[in-house]
């Protein structure tokens, strides 16, 4: 009897082992012909980041905010000659931007149609669209379309967005649909069209603006009388406005050098290994091999090389591939870690450049959508990457507080057209508050250099 039971148990054990072996073989087959054979191009950086097991998981959407890319000028123009715009004022800009974000999504998402147009083909279309019905946006600098998209739609990080550097854009109706044209630098234009079956519509009559003022869009071959009592040539996107009143500012030191540990931790300085000293300018300097961190009255300055610098995997985790959106989120996270409030309406992306294997992302500060200069510097926040490593960072001392007194800007862009009327090439005219000469004054600065469109994304 016992022998029979023992024999049955042996048989059951053998069967169970066979079942387990078969199951194991099946799992191996599923893995080999399923997961491991998934084409690599189907796994973008965001997907890898979501599925990997890591203590460095980070929701990148937490570090995106479209305040960083809000336009400086918004306008609703009409072919009938009645035009309204908002110049300055973050909340006023948002009042219009919020109403067309579904349209911007339809034009900028990865399934939309993008056509790059040369200067010769685009100039006449651009001018006619500005003088017709449409919605016009201008940014403080050339901002990559992908940066505008990811900050406006942070939940859409998985989309592949092209990287044209946009300065200004006009959205206009075409029949019962719409499309847009943007100036993208190097005398070129980009034409954007939504997919054919898009259900989004553009109704200019329903758009509302906070504190709108009337303006006139001048054609490229027009001349106007301005406050200099002379006729000047104006650019095709020049807005002719009588006057605008702006609040003035005070600037004070903002970096808290009493909290050195904050900057040492952000830039991962090993205080045990690093040597430290005070230089002739009374800066506190930490040096560890090729890495240095300088802290003083002028600001915080970090530098290293690709071997000793901060690899971005230590900030957002490991990935097989890093894309531009990752770098953008890393910079925003670094600003947050440095206790610089990227959602305070005053921070904006001032420049993005990728050349010679270096990616540089810079930020500026604005007030009422007018950028501020800090001792002549318009880009006080700068991060430089090479080979997935942060190799340089600079944070210039700053602070922003508003005073009650005001200044009046006479004929806002008409003056700019006067300043650029004798120039050649792409004159980038911008209005700045300048802290060096006294913040109760507002200055025009004209950049005559031609803008070079940033290279391909890393």
pLDDT tens-digit profile of 111-124?
A: 999 999 988 888 88
Q: How many CB atoms lie within 10 A of CB 125?
A: 14
pLDDT at 36 over 70: no
Task: Identify the helix (H) or strand (E) that includes residue 292.
Answer: strand 291-296
Give the pLDDT band of residue 236 (cuts 50, 70, 90). Answer: low
pLDDT greater at residue 272 or residue 400: 272
Residue bearing tokens 């318009």 = 378
The pLDDT confidence band at residue 210, using thresholds 50, 70 and 90, is confident
Structure confidence by residue, pLDDT tens digits, 296-343: 988 899 999 999 999 998 888 887 788 888 999 999 999 989 988 776
In the three-class reduction of DSSP (H, G, I as helix; E, B as strand; rest coil), residue 350 is classed as strand
pLDDT for position 367: 78
Q: Which of 181-190, 241-250, 386-395, 405-414 has the highest mean pLDDT?
A: 386-395
Please give the Cα distance from 11 to 15 (Å, whole number).
6
Note the pTM of the prediction, 2 decimals.
0.77
Structure token pair of residue 33 = 């012909």
Query: Looking at residue 169, what is its pLDDT?
Result: 93
Q: Give the integer Cα–Cα distance in Å for 364 and 348.
A: 5
Burial 192-230 (b: 16+ CB within 10 A, else e): bbbeeebeeebebeeeebeebbebbbbeeebebebeeee
Give me the percent of the chain exceeding a pLDDT of 90.
31
Q: Provide the token pair at 153.
A: 């739609």
Q: Rounded distance, CA 312 to CA 303, Å?
A: 15
Average pLDDT over residues 356-361: 92
Whether the CB-CB separation of 235 and 127 falls below 8 Å is answered with no
262 compared with 434, residue with greater pLDDT: 262
Contact (Cβ atoms closer than 8 angstroms) between residue 150 and residue 98: no
185, 453 in Cβ contact below 8 A? yes
Smallest CA-to-CA distance from 437 within 390, 373, 387 is with: 373
Q: Among 365, 368, 367, which Cα is nearest to 347's?
A: 365
CA dist 57 and 53 (Å) reads: 8
């Amino acid at each position: 009897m016992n022998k029979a039971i023992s024999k049955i148990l042996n048989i059951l054990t053998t069967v169970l082992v066979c079942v387990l072996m078969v199951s194991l073989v099946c799992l191996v087959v599923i893995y080999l012909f399923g997961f491991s054979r998934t084409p690599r191009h189907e796994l973008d950086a965001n997907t890898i980041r979501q599925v990997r097991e890591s203590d460095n998981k980070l929701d990148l959407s937490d570090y995106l905010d479209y305040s960083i890319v809000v336009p400086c000028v918004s306008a609703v123009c009409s072919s009938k000659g009645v035009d309204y715009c908002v110049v300055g004022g973050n909340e006023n800009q948002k009042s219009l931007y919020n109403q067309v974000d579904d349209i911007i999504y339809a034009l900028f998402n990865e399934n939309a149609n993008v056509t790059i147009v040369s200067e010769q083909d685009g100039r006449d279309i651009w001018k006619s669209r500005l003088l017709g019905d449409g919605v016009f946006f201008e940014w403080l600098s050339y901002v990559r379309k992908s940066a505008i998209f990811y900050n406006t739609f942070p939940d859409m990080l998985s989309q592949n967005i092209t990287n044209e550097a946009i300065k200004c854009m006009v959205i206009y109706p075409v029949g019962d649909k719409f499309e847009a044209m943007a100036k993208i630098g190097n005398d070129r234009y980009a034409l954007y069209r939504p997919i054919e079956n898009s259900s989004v519509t553009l109704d200019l009559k329903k758009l509302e603006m906070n504190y709108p003022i009337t303006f006139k869009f001048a054609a490229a071959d027009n001349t106007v009388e301005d406050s200099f009592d002379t006729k000047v040539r104006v650019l095709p996107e020049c807005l002719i406005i009588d006057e605008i009143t702006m609040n003035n500012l005070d600037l004070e030191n903002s970096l808290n050098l009493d909290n050195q540990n904050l900057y040492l931790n952000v830039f991962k300085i090993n205080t045990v290994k690093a040597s430290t000293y005070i230089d002739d300018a009374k800066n506190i300097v930490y040096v560890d091999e090729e890495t240095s961190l300088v802290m003083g009255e002028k600001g915080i300055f970090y530098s290293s090389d690709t071997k000793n610098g901060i690899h971005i995997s230590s900030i957002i985790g490991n990935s097989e591939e890093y894309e531009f959106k990752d770098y953008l989120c890393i910079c925003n996270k670094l600003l947050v870690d440095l206790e610089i409030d990227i959602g305070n309406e005053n921070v904006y992306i001032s420049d993005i450049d990728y050349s010679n294997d270096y990616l540089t992302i810079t930020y500026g500060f604005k007030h009422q959508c007018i950028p501020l200069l800090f001792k002549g510097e318009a880009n006080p926040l700068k991060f430089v990457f090479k080979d997935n490593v942060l190799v340089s960072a600079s944070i210039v001392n700053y602070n922003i507080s508003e005073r009650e007194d005001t200044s009046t800007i006479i004929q806002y862009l008409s003056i700019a057209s006067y300043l650029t009327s004798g120039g050649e090439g792409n004159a980038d005219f911008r209005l700045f508050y300048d802290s060096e000469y006294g913040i109760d004054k507002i200055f025009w600065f004209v950049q005559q250099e031609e803008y070079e469109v940033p290279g391909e994304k890393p």
